[in-house]
Chain A
Amino acid sequence: MNKQSEQLIELIADMKEEEALDLAKEMLDSGYDPISVLNHCREAMEIVGKRFELGEYFLTELMLAGEMLTQISSKAKPLIKDSQLGGEASSKGTVIIATVHGDLHDIGKNIVTFMLDINGYKVVDLGIDVPADTIIDSIKQQQPAVVGLSGFLTLAFESMKETIEEIQKAGLRDNIKIMIGGGQVDEYVREYTGADAFGLNAMDAVSLCGAWIKAA
């Protein structure tokens, strides 16, 4: 790893947006391998994730890190040559994410999606206000290891419960783990909805997926 790459990782991890973007641009302009630039971004995000878990970073830093990555990706991706696109990078496993029906909130869901993606999972984000049928169709199609259901409002408790019951009725419950998160979710809600676990933040989601997929 050369000096530039170390510096890029450090700048992203330290939330130096302008300098990180300038350096990434300079590297790409001078012919630095775009895939390597994206890998450095992932390495930086591992540091960001660790700092979040240690209580040094908060939602604000995750948001800014997400912004930096989106901007660097949009510059790097068009430079990737077709010959380098050897199929999709191998993922640790597939996770379906959705905000349950009736609820239109997506900040938490988006951060969870971003953190899972950056941690090597293939994330299928079905959006907000997602009916159980859509989730079931997606499970059939994607064969995920984990389904994450999000909801901010208390009305989401019932929607999560119904969704999990529908997944059960469709005969798909046994092969997947279901995690719930958002707003006011706690152990009462986990038990009520029949989910396997609940998480309080994006890194909880990463840890849960890590533990489940390793165990499988």
Chain B
Amino acid sequence: MQNLFTEREQRIRDVIALKTPDRVPLIFYQMFWAARHAGMTCRQAMYDYAGFAHGQTQAALEFKPDALMPMQLAITVGKVMELIDYKQLQWPGHAGLNEDVSYQYMDREYMTSAEYAEFCLNPSGFWMNKYLPRIAGGFEVFGKFPPYPTVYHTRNVAHLAALAQPGVKEGLNRLIEAAEEAQRMLDATKANIAELNSLGFPTPFIGTSHAPFDVVADYMRGSKGAMLDMFRNRDKLLETIDVVTRLIASPILKVAASMPGDALKIVFIPLHWGLGGFMSPAQFETFYWPSLRIVMMKFIDAGLTPMPFWEGDCTARLETIADIPGGKCIYQFESTDLVKAKEILGGTVCIRGGVPASLLIAGTPDGVRAQCKKIIDVVGKDGGLIMEASVGIPDEAKAENVKAMFEFTQEYGRYG
């Protein structure tokens, strides 16, 4: 198994370094597909740690990917979210949503434009006292904490009385209950990762990060607020992006520092609002790319491999995003023209993608094989390709199509 693990990881290392591997590697990446393939509903996947782990392991054994993205931290979050009354998602079997559909993010204004300055002055204080109470009932207790960091010396004693307010003790107890559940979820995740690794499947994905603009658009101002702020509150938006840029890489860099120096460490960076039709090239080069590039460079400088997932069609961005050191990144694409991407980025980054979600859902195994062949012949020429469903394997993909993608690539994708 150790040999298989090393052999698979080497393929991923080779394509990142733009060397030609023995064959085109595949990463197994999905949300609810493996659980549904194992007979679970989306709801069960979110609540049943052992069941989800089993589905993921079975899928690894069935499709033999060269690496697997363990999805627990994105999926098996139902119990804890219920305990903290989490408000940013609607999930299956909750708030009227069907038991067998994917969860959905609530794109709303979680911070007003008048609060930019407060966030920039004291991001942690704002997050704890104002932001967290808005996104989960269980976090309301954080709003009652003293106004740190503006409490000093013996005032620390008097201010502590804030926690004697009614409801704080119950709130903290409820939070600790949720925290213990979160620990159980993490333990189950770690056990599954150890199992996958022992079965020969690398899981080199050490964390998820974001483009700073997306943090503002997704989690703070809402997409509409952030887009309008490009016109209405340009300077405040840029200042906030700058604050986020300075903060965002640190948790992942800390994890990386605790790992062996030569371990393969990939950082997943799903990107939401920088795509072709959404903002102009000038807006992209002002609000999106420079800060994202700084974050990516922090990872590269620490020996990590950033793996931005350019959602939507980013063909119009290829020239701009080519400005990154060669052999250090994986660029995952959804509907970007991969042939053009190979032309422009081929000497710089490894390209990940190739099979549209629509083809895996509505197509046939023959159609999938034809698509994989086209991608391997052109985009996979001399390496630099990871075969992948365009958005990961969609929840509704037909099993025979997923099988065709893996088996055909494993057979036809050999070099030399």
Write the residues of chain A forming the contact surface with B, with a CB cutoff of 8 angstroms: 15, 17, 56-61, 63-64, 67, 102-105, 107, 153-155, 157-158, 184-186, 188-189, 191-192, 200-201
Contacts and interface: CB of A to CB of B under 8 A. Distances in A.
B98 interface: yes
B104 A189 contact: no
A157 B363 CA distance: 12
Contact of B231 (A64, A105, A189, A201): A64
Nearest to A185: B358
B232 interface: yes
B223 interface: yes
A17 B280 contact: no
A188 B370 CA distance: 14
B231 A59 contact: no
B228 interface: yes
Given A63-B224, A105-B104, A184-B356, 4 more contacts: A58-B283, A186-B358, A188-B363, A189-B362
A158 B358 CA distance: 11
A157 B278 contact: no
Nearest to A106: B107
B202 to A, nearest CB: 27
B199 interface: no
A184 B391 contact: yes
A153 B31 CA distance: 12
Given A60-B278, A102-B101, A15 B231 contact: yes
Contacts of B395: 154-155
A58 B279 contact: yes
A186 B278 contact: no
B396 A155 contact: yes
A189 B356 CA distance: 10
Contacts of B279: 58-60
B329 interface: no
20 contacts: A57-B280, A58-B283, A59-B278, A60-B228, A60-B280, A63-B227, A63-B228, A64-B228, A67-B228, A104-B97, A104-B106, A154-B391, A154-B394, A154-B395, A157-B361, A184-B335, A186-B358, A188-B361, A189-B358, A192-B358
B98 A107 contact: no
B357 A184 contact: yes
Given A63-B227, A64-B228, A153 B104 contact: yes
The 9 A-B pairs of least Cβ separation, nearest first, read A192-B362, A188-B358, A154-B394, A60-B227, A59-B278, A189-B358, A104-B104, A188-B362, A102-B101
A156 to B, nearest CB: 10
A15 B283 CA distance: 14
Nearest to B334: A184
Select the residue from A17, A153, A157, A186 with max chain B CB neighbours within 10 A. A153
Given A184-B357, A188-B362, A60 B230 contact: yes
Interface in B207-253: 223-224, 227-228, 230-232
A154 B230 CA distance: 30
B101 A155 contact: yes
Interface in B336-368: 356-359, 361-363
Contacts of A191: 362
B277 A200 contact: yes
Interface in B258-312: 277-280, 283
A201 B224 contact: no
Nearest to B363: A188
Contacts of A189: 358, 361-362
Select the residue from B101, B278, B363 with max chain A CB neighbours within 10 A. B101
Nearest to B313: A200
A58 B280 contact: yes
Contacts of A200: 277
A56 B361 CA distance: 34
B102 interface: yes
B90 interface: yes
A107 B358 contact: no
